[in-house]
């Protein structure tokens, strides 16, 4: 049986296996889910063994385990490193927006709904199932190494040193990352640029305990007032970030690349349907796809302080906290950006309170070359799998570890993403299109067959 027939024959089985993996709430940012994270790692290790990988291992780390597996039986053929992550975002649901349990996957209208369905368990399993079909058909054209981490959503803290220490083990001719989206099912696209990331917390501490707002209001500086003043000073009225030096290293695009990006405009129709909003926002001198792809941002992801329950509580709270993410573009440096924010916050902080900036996660922005043999093979594989030639896009999201693949492993990276723009990643009702799942497997099989011919 050739691998495509094998894929076809096992559609139902593959879907059930994906559901099994999605039922494990492996949320890496919440410590109470530690056992689930471990369970997801073990599930993958056992699964990779079952499909015929010759060596499988769980590498313990200071955080969550790293799943490694290899099959190196294609002597003389290229070696592929396939990256994925088994951890997922939280699925808190204070406004009751999930239509079904985030950890009880359900198919509705050809989509599989669950936390992690597209990001990244579904896409990771798409790759695993492609490899399985090649192994099962006895036609495995390349050597394969899987590297599947459990901390992508919490900063890949332990994967960076792991890559440094295991550069030999991970050595490959090309690294494949299936953790991005296409512009649409029938007009596929390949992401060649990803934003980097610096995430931070800003904490303002005032009085030693919450104070009565009547008894002390007027003589005690309110930590929440200081916090909103600091945060409001981060943008100007047009949406530019006002942290001094923030844009200093941002590369400008030449006209050719701007024109290429202009081929995949972010339409108002898409804006409306994906956000539920009518009026876009952002730097007026850039088009929407440029604001997302080539411009950095600073977003407040969360804010909390004082009384947040029902009704009122008339206090001056003891503290306030903001969580912030900066999305970065070449050649911004995530650690330098943290330092710039830290300096600016220090300038903005009055002596009435104590303000602390804590860096959380850092990831470099990345752009992959468009003119490699691997990229040409990827373009052909998408045409085969999705019936149209893919266009090149920059995406606003971040997969920080991609820069390490380039820097440490010196491997070209292909971002072989199979998500769709309305997959609701990091949001309620995350989904993965079953069509993307199956066509993605075909695309991946075709890609490995093609690069198997390279020597």
CA distance 6 to 345: 58
Strands 79-85 and 143-149: parallel
- Residue count of the chain, please give it: 455
Contacting range for a second copy; rule: CB under 8 A; set: 100-108, 121-129, 379-387, 393-401 = 393-401
Using CB under 8 A, which of 123, 132, 143, 297 touches a second copy? 297
Gap between the Cα atoms of 174 and 411, Å rounded = 5
Give the Cα separation of 375 and 27 in Å (integer).
33
DSSP state of 147: E
Nearer to a second copy, 98 or 374 (CB): 98
User: Does the protein bind a second copy through residue 25 (CB under 8 A)?
Assistant: no
User: Hunting for tokens 């070696």 — which residue is that?
Assistant: 79
- Among 271, 356, 373, 454, which residue sits at the site for a second copy (rule: CB under 8 A)? 271
Task: Please report whether residue 295 would count as binding a second copy according to CB under 8 A.
Answer: yes
Instruction: Give the one residue of 42, 101, 173, 221 binding a second copy; rule: CB under 8 A.
Output: 221
189 contacts a second copy (rule: CB under 8 A): no
Sign of CA dihedral 389, 391, 395, 400: positive
Single out the residue of 306, 339, 391, 408 in contact with a second copy (rule: CB under 8 A).
306
| Stretch of 17-25, 60-68, 248-256, 314-322 contacting a second copy, by CB under 8 A | 314-322
C-alpha distance from residue 83 to each of 48, 232, 409 (Å): 13, 38, 13
Alpha-carbon distances of 314 from 41, 213, 303, 426, rounded to whole Å: 47, 5, 19, 34
Is residue 433 involved in binding a second copy (CB under 8 A)?
Answer: no
Q: Which residues pair with 432 in a beta bridge?
A: 112
- Piece of the chain touching a second copy by CB under 8 A; list 78-86, 243-251, 281-289, 410-418: 281-289
Nearest approach, Cβ of 304 to a second copy (angstroms)?
A: 4
| Least Å from the CB of residue 443 to a second copy | 22
Angle, to 10 degrees, between the axis of helix 34-50 and the axis of helix 121-136? Answer: 20
Exposure string for 173-190, b = 16+ CB within 10 A, e = fewer: bbbbbbbbbbbeeeebbb
Residue 59 or 216 with smaller CB distance to a second copy: 216
Determine phi and psi for 106, rounding to 5 degrees. -135, 140
Instruction: Give one word for 389, left, alpha or beta, with left for phi > 0 and alpha for psi -120 to 50.
Output: beta
Based on CB atoms, which residue is closest to a second copy, 161 or 350?
350
Nearer to a second copy among residue 196 and residue 440 (C-beta): 196
Any idea what DSSP says for residue 362?
Answer: E
Among 65, 105, 122, 317, binds a second copy (CB under 8 A): 317
Binders in 339-378 for a second copy, by CB under 8 A: 350-352, 360-361
Tell me the window of 103-111, 132-140, 419-427, 441-449 that interacts with a second copy (CB under 8 A).
419-427
CB of 234 to a second copy, least distance (A): 8
What span, in angstroms and rounded, lies between the C-alpha atoms of 440 and 384?
10
Mark the segment that binds a second copy (CB under 8 A) among 10-18, 64-72, 122-130, 282-290: 282-290
Nearer to a second copy, 29 or 343 (CB): 29
Q: Which residues, 100 to 129, sit near a second copy by CB under 8 A? A: none
Q: Is 8 in the site for a second copy (CB under 8 A)?
A: no
Q: Is 213 in the site for a second copy (CB under 8 A)?
A: yes
Nearer to a second copy, 185 or 318 (CB): 318
Q: Exactly one of 60, 242, 307, 347 binds a second copy (CB under 8 A); which one?
A: 307
- Indicate whether 446 belongs to the interface with a second copy (CB under 8 A): no
Q: Is 52 in the site for a second copy (CB under 8 A)?
A: no
Question: Residue 12 interacts with a second copy (CB under 8 A)?
Answer: no
Contact letters for a second copy, residues 64-103 (x by CB under 8 A)? -------------------------xx-x--x-x------
Closest alpha carbon to 184 in 445, 23, 393? 393
For a second copy, the closer of residues 188 and 296 by Cβ is: 296
| Whether 243 contacts 344, CB under 8 Å | yes
Decide whether 17 or 430 has the Cβ nearer to a second copy.
430
Q: Which of 425, 441, 444, 445 binds a second copy (CB under 8 A)?
A: 425
Q: Which two tokens stand for residue 268?
A: 């108002």
CA dihedral 377, 379, 380, 381 (to 10 degrees): 80
| Residue with Cβ nearer a second copy (144 or 241) | 241
- In this structure, is the dihedral angle defined by the CA atoms of residues 112, 118, 121 and 126, taken in order, positive or negative? positive
The encoded tokens of residue 339 equal: 């330092």
d(CA 414, CA 173): 11
- To 10 degrees, what angle do helices 223-232 and 334-348 make? 130
Among 283, 339, 380, 435, binds a second copy (CB under 8 A): 283
């Amino acid at each position: 049986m050739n691998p495509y027939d094998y894929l076809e024959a096992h559609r139902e089985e593959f879907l059930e296996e994906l559901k099994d993996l999605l039922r494990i709430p492996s949320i890496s940012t919440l410590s109470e889910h530690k056992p689930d994270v471990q369970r997801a790692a073990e599930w993958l290790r056992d699964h990779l063994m079952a499909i015929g990988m010759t060596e499988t291992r769980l590498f313990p780390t200071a955080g969550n385990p790293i799943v490694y597996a290899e099959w190196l039986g294609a002597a003389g053929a290229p070696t592929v490193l396939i990256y994925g992550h088994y951890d997922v975002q939280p699925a808190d649901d204070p406004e009751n927006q999930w239509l079904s349990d985030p950890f009880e996957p359900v198919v509705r209208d050809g989509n599989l709904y669950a936390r992690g369905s597209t990001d990244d368990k579904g896409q990771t399993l798409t790759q695993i199932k492609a490899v399985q079909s090649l192994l099962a058909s006895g036609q495995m054209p390349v050597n394969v190494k899987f590297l599947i981490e459990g901390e992508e959503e919490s900063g890949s803290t332990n994967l960076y040193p792991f890559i440094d220490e295991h550069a030999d083990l991970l050595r490959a001719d090309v690294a494949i990352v299936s953790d991005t989206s296409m512009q649409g099912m029938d007009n596929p696209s390949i992401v060649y640029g990803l934003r980097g990331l610096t995430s931070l917390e800003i904490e303002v501490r005032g009085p030693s305990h919450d104070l009565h707002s009547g008894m002390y209001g007027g003589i005690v500086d309110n930590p929440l007032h200081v916090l909103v003043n600091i945060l409001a000073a981060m943008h100007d009225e047009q949406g530019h970030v006002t942290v001094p030096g923030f844009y200093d290293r941002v590369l400008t695009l030449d006209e050719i690349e701007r024109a290429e990006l202009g081929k995949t405009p972010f339409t108002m129709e898409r804006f409306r349907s994906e956000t539920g909003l009518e009026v876009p926002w952002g730097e007026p001198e850039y088009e929407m796809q440029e604001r997302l792809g080539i411009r950095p941002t600073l977003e407040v992801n969360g804010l909390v302080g004082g009384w947040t329950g029902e009704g009122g509580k008339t206090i001056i709270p003891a503290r306030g906290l903001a969580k912030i993410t900066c999305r970065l573009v070449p050649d911004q440096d995530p650690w330098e950006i943290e330092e710039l924010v830290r300096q600016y916050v220090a300038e903005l902080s009055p002596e009435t309170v104590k303000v602390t900036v804590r860096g959380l996660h850092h990831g470099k922005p990345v752009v992959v070359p468009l003119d490699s043999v691997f990229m040409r093979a990827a373009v052909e594989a998408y045409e085969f799998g999705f019936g149209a030639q893919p266009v090149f896009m920059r995406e606003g999201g971040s997969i920080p570890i991609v820069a390490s693949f380039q820097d440490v492993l010196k491997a070209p990276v292909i971002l072989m993403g199979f998500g769709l723009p309305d997959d609701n990643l990091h949001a309620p009702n995350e989904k993965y299109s079953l069509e993307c799942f199956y066509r993605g497997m075909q695309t991946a099989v075709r890609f490995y067959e093609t690069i198997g011919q390279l020597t």
